[in-house]
Amino acid sequence: MLFESAPAKINLGLHIIRRRADGYHDLSTVFHPIGWADRITVSPAGNISMTCTDATLSCGKDNLVIRAARLLQKVAGIDQGALFHLEKKIPRGAGLGGGSSDAAAALRMLSNHWKSDDATIALKSLALKIGSDVPFFLHGQTAYAEGRGERLTPMADYAFPFSLAVVVPPVHISTAWAFQQVIVSGMNPPNLIEVVRSNDLDRWRCELVNDFEKPVFSQWPIIQEVKSSLLRSGAGFASLTGSGAGVYGIFESKEDAVVAAEEAAAKGYATWHQAAIDT
């Protein structure tokens, strides 16, 4: 039996640049992994199947883990199966990438379990067929992303010096809906690598913008209130992640991050907090 943690991510800035002829959108963002994580295990089996601690989550062919496993099985010419068990911790429909992270973990584990050749199978190309942000989760280090999110520039030496609180109100947002509503700027975004590396929260407030905030906040004021609440609780910066509904706050005080998360949890919201690495 093999097991892995499948971490969530937040978006540090998210600009929608243009709609492409193929129906996808070009974007500019920085993906940053966080400690909120699902746990996924795999063991030998005659066919590919899955169980999950979340009874509302489909474990059928539409699940990204199953799709990833079947795609790798087909491309690698494998006649073995696999039984997955997913301990679901990351909220769904929150812009945290939980499903994509689970799929990437499945690809990594099965490549090891089935002794596949990563270079021959080209896991990154398989990952992109599953979802635009799955390639990021294959390696899970902070990275600048362009295109659909698959063109990655690693920021391996980037140090994130802040404490973090993530709050997810009970709202599920369709990514397809969000892309239909967002206004495409067609303008070149700021240099997000430079902005993020500065770790200057004054600069972040000016230049790290999530283009999904305007339509999402307009449709669901409760999500805008989450952001406002995090700022009132002492966050130096707060933002929607992905297309939501998750919102994160960046804190220079780990105590303030804990209090902000606890206050949101008392309202029945899903929450996560983590201290800065050096605290």
| Structural contact between residues 47 and 63, judged by C-beta atoms closer than 8 angstroms | no
Find the catalytic residue in 9, 38, 88, 102: 9
Residue 241: C-alpha distances to residues 15, 96, 144, 216 (Å): 12, 7, 15, 11
Find the catalytic residue in 38, 102, 133, 256: 133
Secondary structure of residue 270 in the 3-state scheme: strand
89 flagged as catalytic? no
Cα(216)–Cα(230) distance, rounded to whole angstroms? Answer: 17
Which tokens go with 160?
Answer: 């994130």
DSSP string of 92-160?
Answer: TTSSS-HHHHHHHHHHHHHHHHTT--HHHHTHHHHHHHH-TTHHHHHH-S-EEEETTTTEEEE-TT---
96, 64, 76: which is closest to 167 by C-alpha?
96
Cα(111)–Cα(123) distance, rounded to whole angstroms? Answer: 9
74 flagged as catalytic? no
220-254 burial, b if ≥16 CB within 10 A, otherwise e?
beebbebbebbeebbbbbbbbbbbbbbbbbbbbbb
Provide the pairing of β-strand 48-52 with 81-87.
parallel
The residues assigned a catalytic role are 9, 133
